[in-house]
Structure 1
């Protein structure tokens, strides 16, 4: 390692050493921390929004946890794909999953469309703002799945999500009186087209 005249390593040498000698997890933490420091700096300069060290630490931990969650879901999706090669679904399958941010009242929705011979057909993602609950987020995701099926021109679809309560409301033929009544009504009206 080259040293400058005052016997201190320069930043790039130090950073290179950290990434060469650090574990994958340590490098991820450094990457997220540097990115968040730059983001926090831009917020101070451009928006006059200040973050504390505690806030930044929590955000780094949240980013790492989100990454680990995505990696676990990808692994699960690969397992599901391998199982799909063994059995054929009779119809188009649209799977959805959501993430809800209660601090900002927004949600992220991901949709994946599988063909009737288990081939990947499409995927789509959305961000919804001003969503009041995870319950509503799941309902919006189901509505987006139905609308995607209509846009793609399918005659028959199967929608899969991980909220049993919301899925039961989709399947019901009775009038729903919950907080997601309007969304359920939209889904029930649109599913008549299949």
Structure 2
């Protein structure tokens, strides 16, 4: 057992070549900057940077690279580094090496997803800020929202009523069962908000939600 263990250790120690390009010694600077695979992916993404007069400390090199990038370029460069390291681990542990076009496609798709989610979040924040404006005069503003569990067809609605000073006049939650879809859930929440206003005797109300579809 000890002989086999020693052989395995010796094999690991002696095998210092980069598992991706198998040409140069594997170091952090090689993986993130000098490996031929990294350089090809970087060129395809338009993220390539000059390796002339290389900074011997890869940390300083990376910091200098990010210092001159835009926010978009920084995001892509970060995804690139993560994808390169993930590919290295897949190659080392499973013997699976991604093609350059596969890595580029993954990075572009991941970046596009980040941009999309950022736009959705920004849109929701704008709607939320607009929704939370206080009502005019003696009116009562009632805000409603709901979450929908698709697997269980259940929902939970939250309703809150405020006056023009921002003081909470009433609030409640409702559990919904056998709900068909998110749109039905939001519509039911709206109806519950109206019913609550009627039960409490509010005379003039504004009812608002953050749903993007028309109820």
TM-score by length of structure 1 reads 0.47
